[in-house]
Amino acid sequence: MNKVKDILAKKPKAVFTVQSDATLYQALEIMADKNIGAILVTDKNGKLAGIFSERDFARKIIIKGRDGEKTTVGEIMTTQVLYVDPETTINDCMTLMTEKKIRHLPVMDKGELVGIISIGDVVKAYCANQDSIIAEQEFQLGQLERYINQSP
């Protein structure tokens, strides 16, 4: 599992979105129902317009004392959305997410939204890849030891 497409292949195909004119309360209801930490925001044409996360809610609503039932997602969503494509490597995702301090990355393929990955997805894929590398190295080391022990 080295690329984003490998992560997406193991995830449910559904991508949850909300329009920018939805209230924060409506977005949070969907997030709670689907057990997700962020939701993608689309414009009226269905194009990606932003992302709204639990972190946005905590920092822009709760701390500032705004009303979640009256404020729209469009008012506080993150509009500078970083995204990756299915061919992006897991290492590149980890680097991007760490440097930019983000937890979710939409996945775009030829301008179309095809999924979203979280930092949890990336770490899980990275660890699985590391386990595979270690297992391969252990196998090769065992083969070398057998070869050396058989030599005259």
* pLDDT on residue 129: 65
- As its CATH architecture, domain 4-150 has Roll (3.10)
pTM, whole model, 2 decimals?
0.78
Tokens 């993150």 correspond to what residue? 78
Which tens digits make up the pLDDT trace of 1-25? Answer: 589 999 999 998 889 999 999 999 9
Backbone angles phi, psi at 68, to 5 degrees: -70, -20
User: What is residue 7's predicted lDDT score, i.e. its pLDDT?
Assistant: 94
What local confidence, expressed as pLDDT, does residue 48 receive?
93
User: Could you tell me the CA-to-CA distances from 39 to 33, 108, 142, 152 in Å, in that order?
Assistant: 12, 15, 47, 65
Relative orientation angle of helices 90-100 and 119-150, to the nearest 10 degrees = 130
Q: Tell me, what's the pLDDT at 77?
A: 94
pLDDT score for 63: 73
| Residue boundaries of the structural domains of the chain | 4-150
Tell me what percent of the residues of the chain surpass a pLDDT of 70. 89
Comparing 119 with 147, the larger pLDDT belongs to: 119
Q: What angle do CA 144, 148, 149 make, to 5 degrees?
A: 115
Do residues 86 and 112 touch, judged by C-beta distance below 8 A? no
pLDDT digits (tens, 9 = 90+) for 20-69: 999 999 999 999 999 999 999 999 888 899 999 988 888 888 777 777 77
For the stretch 75-132, pLDDT in tens is 999 999 999 999 999 999 999 999 999 999 999 999 899 999 999 999 888 887 665 6
